[in-house]
Chain A
Amino acid sequence: MVKSNYIIELSNITKSFPDKVVLDDVSLSVKKGEFLTILGPSGCGKTTLLRLLAGFNSASSGEILIGGEVMTGVPPHLRPVNTVFQRYALFPNYNVYDNIAFGLKLQKVDKKEIEQRVKRALKMVGMTDYEHRDVQSLSGGQQQRVAIARAIVNRPQVLLLDEPLAALDLKMRKDMQMELKEMHRSLGITFVYVTHDQEEALTMSDTIVVMNEGKIQQIGSPTDIYNEPCNAFVADFIGESNILNATMVRDRLVRFMDKEFECIDEGFGENTPVDVVVRPEDVYIIRNAEAAMFHGKVRSCTFKGVHYEMFVDTPDGYEIMIQDYNAFEPGTEVGMMIKPADIHVMRKERTENHVEGVIIDSTHVAILGENFECEPLEGFEVGEKVDVAFDFSDVELTDDPDDGISWGTIRFILYKGDRYHLTVRTDEGDNVYVDTHDVWEDLDEVGITIAPKSLRVTHLTK
């Protein structure tokens, strides 16, 4: 067998619990010595992925290789990895020294060597002279340092870190980020780091894996992920951004806000619906409106320390976020410009809703767990499974879940300059995507209504 330079290889990992799929066909390779961060919102499956690596859970299907060895059925204590837990998980019945020496004692390392290595590990995390302290007398930051020392003292091939800094205050977190990065450099072992904090991921990582809803969205270096997000979710999750609906007119020409812009993207085809991302610092704002590509009126201007953050309304009803070193008073008429290279074009994941339904009778179809009225149907049998399509803007949401035909919970909100693009999850786990001008909040429960004429019923294509 050829020894690859990948220390961890995950192939087609799926993990499902009785009520939901947490990881959906995840494949990932981690290079030896890499600092890899798994980034995503809570519930995206990142912690589950880490637990599969540590061996606390086993995958429903797929294979995990660590150091070239198949890990299926290998219990945690035999894996060449060590974990730093979010809530430290220090043993309260041992002092600092015995906590750190725990792994070495189990390996029956020579007593003198244990002492040397524990001292070195304590020095590395800046906790010299704390050996005999009771762990419960330490502050959160100190406990986390001990937890890190306890893991690295065993010289694992891979160090797994599960949101290790999440419980610390901001200042402490910044310091620890730098220290962890430094530790990674001097130890030379592979770090797999899980976090929901995009800034932390951008600061520390060699490679970032962005996850959402159990799927990997994008893998890349921090600069790649920031500059070339592959879809609207990644663009929205990493940093601030303006995300707009657009049409790729042809190669290097994209149309959005009813204007055509030059860009550098190719290969999307002609007149294809796409999403466009423009970072707020990439929009140039000028007083001289003549030379500008488009115009608007400043609505608000907030000082953010280094730059000003401004929201500009265009006459067509779009809202653009801009970051600039110069302030423009609210009410000022301004012109804006965007360089072709700063327009990031992304393929749309979907352009309409598709759900599976069952024909009830000639004017009703069961979708989203309820019977929806539709236009009179011909050529369908009762009980036949069908595909039902409807536009994002044809879904009507109501405050009271009981007012809709079906209901769901708002799971994700994306602002698209002139409208919100919502992901509404029904009780049955179907996602309905909705375009709306109304303001909703994350996790709101809403009623879902769709007019009969908006439902397009077609035979399922095998």
Chain B
Amino acid sequence: MLKNITKFLSRRRSWSIPYVVFMAIFVVTPLVLIMIYSFQAKDGGFSMENFERFINQPEAANTFIYSIGIALITTLLCLLLGYPAAYILSRLKPSNASLVVMLFILPMWINVLVRTLATVALFDFLRLPLGEGALIFGMVYNFLPFMIYPIYNVLQKMDVSLIEAAEDLGATPRQVFTRVVFPLSVPGIVSGIMMVFMPTISTFAIAELLTMNNIKLFGTTIQENINNGMWHYGAALSLIMLVIIGITSLFTDSESEDGANEGGLL
């Protein structure tokens, strides 16, 4: 008996069982349930009515498009702010850089809700209006580190001799950037975009707090439907969102065949 247990524990495969069980219960089962629920009518039979409702009712569809818009703006702002930051960081001495990277990552140790509530308080204190502007500010503030880190990772690992080779062949500092550094950092950018764009589509807590429930994002819509017992419609909306995210990740994958892995974080 004891021998069998020892044998069981010594096999590497045995150690993966808890994870497989966990994944099956908390990831695979919910996904399957979402699939089933979204193709069910209220009476339980197969039906496309949830999707028809999404297309015919402009409210949810509009929220969806609006959410994508906000996510795009957030991602773009994060990229514009994050790239220069990552670039400067990658030029620092390693000892200094790790300290600064730490400072960027430090806020992520605090819960999103706490940070967002603090942002609300800050806007209050500065007498700035809550709303769309505050929402975008909050999103950028929350997701910026996710953009900086993968880009910094790629830039920092870049072989310095490539930059020297470009200089040596007559490239001005600007040309070194546009022809060598930037193209080679694309995998990091792709990684960063995925890290920011995907979660921003489905955020709802930040939106609720920073707009005092005035602006609805798609995440909020899903949450409201499910809270109000509309399980089937909520599941269908979730599925639509998952498919869209899936498509963007496929698109970014093919963009950077060999690169995305270098982006770190993922």
Binding site for B on A (CB under 8 A): 54-56, 75-78, 81-83, 85, 87, 89-93, 102-103, 106-107, 150-151, 154
Nearest residue, chain B, Cβ from A160: B168
Given contacts A92-B184, A93-B184, A106-B175, contact A77 B168 (CB under 8 A): yes
Residue B167 interfacial (CB < 8 Å): yes
CA distance A77 to B173 in the complex (A): 9
**Proximity string of chain B (130-142) to chain A, C-beta cutoff 8 Å, 1 when within and 0 when not:** 0000000000000
Given contacts A89-B159, A89-B161, A93-B180, contact A83 B175 (CB under 8 A): no
User: How many residues of B are in contact with the other chain, CB < 8 A?
Assistant: 17
Pairwise interchain contact B162-A89, C-beta atoms closer than 8 A: yes
Pairwise interchain contact B165-A106, C-beta atoms closer than 8 A: no
Closest 5 CB pairs of A and B: A103-B169, A76-B167, A89-B161, A89-B165, A93-B183
Pairwise interchain contact A150-B169, C-beta atoms closer than 8 A: yes
Residue B172 interfacial (CB < 8 Å): yes
Pairwise interchain contact A77-B171, C-beta atoms closer than 8 A: yes
Nearest residue, chain B, Cβ from A107: B170
Residue B166 interfacial (CB < 8 Å): yes
| Chain B residues whose CB sits within 8 angstroms of the CB of A91 once the complex forms | 162, 165-166, 180, 184
| Chain A residues whose CB sits within 8 angstroms of the CB of B179 once the complex forms | 102
| Chain B residues whose CB sits within 8 angstroms of the CB of A78 once the complex forms | 170
Pairwise interchain contact A87-B161, C-beta atoms closer than 8 A: yes
Interface of B is mostly: helix
CA distance A55 to B164 in the complex (A): 9
| Chain A residues whose CB sits within 8 angstroms of the CB of B162 once the complex forms | 89, 91
| Chain A residues whose CB sits within 8 angstroms of the CB of B161 once the complex forms | 85, 87, 89
Chain A nearest CB from B255 CB (Å) reads: 13
Given contacts A54-B164, A82-B169, A103-B169, 19 further A-B contacts (CB under 8 A): A55-B167, A56-B167, A75-B167, A77-B167, A77-B171, A77-B172, A83-B165, A83-B168, A85-B165, A89-B162, A90-B165, A91-B180, A93-B183, A102-B169, A102-B171, A103-B170, A107-B170, A151-B168, A154-B170
CA distance A325 to B159 in the complex (A): 50
Pairwise interchain contact B172-A56, C-beta atoms closer than 8 A: no
CA distance A102 to B180 in the complex (A): 10
Binding site for A on B (CB under 8 A): 159, 161-162, 164-172, 175, 179-180, 183-184
Chain A nearest CB from B103 CB (Å) reads: 26
> A77: which of B170, B180, B183, B184 is its contact (CB, 8 Å)?
B170
> A106: which of B159, B164, B171, B184 is its contact (CB, 8 Å)?
B171
| Chain B residues whose CB sits within 8 angstroms of the CB of A150 once the complex forms | 169
CA distance A102 to B172 in the complex (A): 12
| Chain A residues whose CB sits within 8 angstroms of the CB of B164 once the complex forms | 54, 56, 76, 83, 85, 89
| Chain A residues whose CB sits within 8 angstroms of the CB of B167 once the complex forms | 55-56, 75-77
| Chain A residues whose CB sits within 8 angstroms of the CB of B165 once the complex forms | 83, 85, 89-91
Pairwise interchain contact B184-A82, C-beta atoms closer than 8 A: no
| Chain B residues whose CB sits within 8 angstroms of the CB of A106 once the complex forms | 169-171, 175
| Chain B residues whose CB sits within 8 angstroms of the CB of A92 once the complex forms | 184
CA distance A83 to B170 in the complex (A): 11
| Chain B residues whose CB sits within 8 angstroms of the CB of A151 once the complex forms | 168-169
Chain B nearest CB from A406 CB (Å) reads: 30
Chain B nearest CB from A316 CB (Å) reads: 53
Given contacts A89-B161, A93-B184, contact A54 B168 (CB under 8 A): yes
Chain B nearest CB from A85 CB (Å) reads: 5
| Chain B residues whose CB sits within 8 angstroms of the CB of A83 once the complex forms | 164-165, 168
| Chain A residues whose CB sits within 8 angstroms of the CB of B180 once the complex forms | 91, 93
Chain B nearest CB from A346 CB (Å) reads: 39
Nearest residue, chain A, Cβ from B186: A93
| Chain A residues whose CB sits within 8 angstroms of the CB of B166 once the complex forms | 91, 102
| Chain A residues whose CB sits within 8 angstroms of the CB of B170 once the complex forms | 77-78, 103, 106-107, 154
Pairwise interchain contact A154-B184, C-beta atoms closer than 8 A: no
Pairwise interchain contact B175-A76, C-beta atoms closer than 8 A: no
A selection of 5 A-B contacts at a CB cut-off of 8 Å is A85-B161, A90-B165, A91-B162, A91-B166, A93-B180
